Structure 1
Amino acid sequence: PETVTAFQLQKQGSEGSSGERALGQQEGYRVDESGKVYLPFIGEVQAAGKTVMELRQEISMKLIAFFPDATVQVRFLNFRVTLIGEVARPNAYIIPNEQLNILEAIGMAGDFTPYARRNSVMVMRERNHQREFVRVNTQDTTLFKSPVFYLKPNDIVYVEPLKAKQYATQGDFLSRYSPIFFPLVTLATFVLGLSVR
């Protein structure tokens, strides 16, 4: 019973207070800002800079002394990606899986809008405290070889709009305000005509 209590995990909510969408419900231990996670019996373990497999093997080796038959699972609980721009449901999403590619992320956000520029999707990624910007073409097979095809935690995906949207927006503006705009133009022309005379 004490062992079970020691390893009892906290459940993560299905949706954060900031409106983040979570897919599924997971449990786990938090990695602190220094990249370490504290686990019962074995203490601190350095998680940052290691792959999921490497971290799983390290924790398993340290737990053998206490639990010879222990099964260790390591996965991202705070794998969050943000999709903005021309997608149907722009938002920050919590991903329960260990791997997510950019096409899956766009599909998760409801796919492109009709005004999406599919050949110009920007991925913003932070690495070593520096922001990287990589533009990809989702209509080209070279996408699968891109270093940003598989997303990483905290990536931001921005789908640029077509120029047609700008024209459509301008058209909406003119159609909405033309009943006011054109009488003013007519009045200005009439006044100008009187002034010339």
Structure 2
Amino acid sequence: MSNDYQLTFKPDDLLQIIISSKDVKAALPFNLPVLASSPSAISAQGIPKLQSYLIDGKGEVEFPVLGVLKLGGLTRIEAIDLLKDKLHPNYLKDPIVNIIITNFKVTVIGDVRNSRVFQVENERVTIFDAIGMAGDLNISGVRENVTVIREEFNKKNKYVIDLRSNNIMTSPVYYLQQNDLIYIEQNTSRIQDAAYTRSTGLFISLASVLISLITVITR
């Protein structure tokens, strides 16, 4: 069984959409103006930065000239084809469309070395890539019961996978989508050890208090 990777655009995605053509001037109205970011220590003028389109809660963006476009729910190829159909032949001949997600991120939490949100430049990221960015699982992390939370069609879906399985590469969460959350749980012995340590500390504290009281009373 194959696992065809298909990234789907979602609300709150920030997209850089660049339209180009042999006729450079004709393509200019379909691109957002370039802004200069804050000056850096290297350059007093700042670094040019492309603006991004925010996909709203309806899955739409406001695009120059073309107006409102529904990009939410589309794959990159589908979105590119949509824009090409809108542009050709009325506005541009053989337009070239490039789309990049600028806020692609995944979150890894639980029993790993470095729990946090990771900004990902390469959108083709696997669950092993994300765990690697988190410094791998701790020795007490449960590898056979890893949870991935993914938002699909305005609903949070939970997937449970076994990292040791031979079939993991066919899982729908082997390739991660933007905003996926990976949770690694602790094994039961680690949880029991932690509970024992807390109980032992409490017992020692109570014993110390009782010994102090007995000492005061018997003087």
Structure-2-length-normalised TM-score: 0.66
Aligned to 1:40: 64
Aligned to 2:156: 131
Aligned to 2:83: 59
Aligned to 2:194: 169
Q: Within the alignment, does 1:81 sit opposite 2:106 as a pair?
A: yes
Equivalent of residue 140 in structure 2, options 115, 125, 133: 115
Identity of aligned residues (%): 25
Decide whether aligned partners of structure 1 residues 154 and 11 sit closer, same or farther in structure 2, where only a CA change above 3 A counts. Answer: farther
- Check the 8 A contact 1:78/1:94 in 2, yes or no: yes
- Check the 8 A contact 2:32/2:50 in 1, yes or no: no
- Check the 8 A contact 1:27/1:77 in 2, yes or no: no
One-letter amino acid matched to 1:169:
A
Unaligned runs of 5+ in 1: 13-24, 191-197
Q: In the TM superposition, what is the alpha-carbon distance from 1:160 to its structure 2 partner?
A: 0.8
Aligned to 1:166, the other structure's residue is in SS state: helix
Aligned length: 179
One-letter amino acid matched to 2:141:
A
Question: 1:76 & 1:11 partners in 2: Cα distance?
Answer: 20
Q: In the TM superposition, what is the alpha-carbon distance from 1:107 to its structure 2 partner?
A: 1.1
Q: Within the alignment, does 1:96 sit opposite 2:121 as a pair?
A: yes
The higher relative CO (CA closer than 8 Å, separation ≥ 6) is in: 2
Question: 1:126 & 1:34 partners in 2: Cα distance?
Answer: 15
Decide whether aligned partners of structure 1 residues 127 and 104 sit closer, same or farther in structure 2, where only a CA change above 3 A counts. Answer: same
In proportion to residue count, which structure has more helix?
1
Aligned to 1:21: none
Question: 2:79 & 2:179 partners in 1: Cα distance?
Answer: 20
Question: 1:179 & 1:121 partners in 2: Cα distance?
Answer: 36
Question: 1:55 & 1:31 partners in 2: Cα distance?
Answer: 12
Superposition RMSD in Å: 3.3
Aligned to 2:146, the other structure's residue is in SS state: strand
One-letter amino acid matched to 2:140:
Y
- Check the 8 A contact 2:32/2:51 in 1, yes or no: no
Structure-1-length-normalised TM-score: 0.73
Decide whether aligned partners of structure 1 residues 128 and 58 sit closer, same or farther in structure 2, where only a CA change above 3 A counts. Answer: closer
